[in-house]
Each structure stands twice: as structure tokens, then as C-alpha cells.
Amino acid sequence: MPNDQRALVLVVEDEALVRMHGCDLLESAGFEVLEAETADEAVALLEKHGDVHLLFSDIDMPGSMDGIQLAELVHERWPNIGLLLTSGHRRPQETDIPDEGKFISKPWREGDVLDKIRAILAGK
């Protein structure tokens, strides 16, 4: 990714306050942010915006897909998008996440979220 371009991150989270917090955190750190409440909404956004660099998604969500299924679908259709998953309860092995994606547990330490996102984007 060229340095002069601000990376676009899609935040998927069904809890409104947590989603606001995630978006606020990323915007403050200089990222462009899109937000979705469900996996289906996320896919619709990805179809509309071709330039998303990273998916930052909760695992436990209502709707047709959970975060891991969403990550699998995104990896299949948009293999260039980096993957970071998060959850308050499940601690998946990072090997469960496609494309060497990363996992961060909730509640977030803000510095860790940014570190992981930067590491994933650096590897792309």
C-alpha cells in the first residue's frame, strides 16, 4: 500500500457502542473507516467499495454469518483484504482465521488494536 494513501478499514460489530469506539479509535489514528452492523451489511459495503484494505470484525454476531465465516468469505472473494477478528468470549487459534489473519480479545487495549492493524497492513 502506498504511504500517501490512508488505509480504509471496515469495522463490523453489532454492539453500537463498541462499534463507535472501534471507529473512533481508528479514525483518531488516521485511518479511513467504514462501519457495518452485520456480516451481510459488511458484504454489501465491500461490493460497493473496491478499495477496503482491512476487515476488523467481531466474531459473535447475529445474522447469516459469524465473523469467522465472514472472514472466510472475504478471503475468498477479496484475497487482498487483511483480516483482524475480535471477540469477548471466544479465543480462536489464529490458525482458524484464513490468510494468516490475526485475533484480538475484548476488551481491547487500544495500542494493541493499532499495532495489529499496522502489522497486518505492512504484510500486505
Q: Which residues bind another protein (CB under 8 A)?
A: 15-18, 20-22, 24-25, 28, 60, 88-89, 91, 93, 105-107, 109-110
Least distance to another protein, CB of residue 106, Å: 5
List strand residue ranges (DSSP E) for the chain, in order: 8-12, 32-36, 54-58, 82-87, 102-105
CB of 84 to another protein, least distance (A): 16
If the CB atoms of residues 3 and 93 are measured against another protein, the closer one turns out to be 93
Q: In the bound complex, what is the minimum distance in angstroms from residue 69's beta carbon to another protein? A: 19
d(C-alpha 78, C-alpha 3), whole Å: 21
Q: To the nearest whole angstrom, how small is the minimum distance from the Cβ of residue 89 to another protein?
A: 5
116 - beta bridge partners?
none
What grid cell was written down for 91?
479465543
**Contact between 108 and 114 (Cβ < 8 Å):** no
Q: Which is nearer to another protein, 47 or 88 (CB)?
A: 88
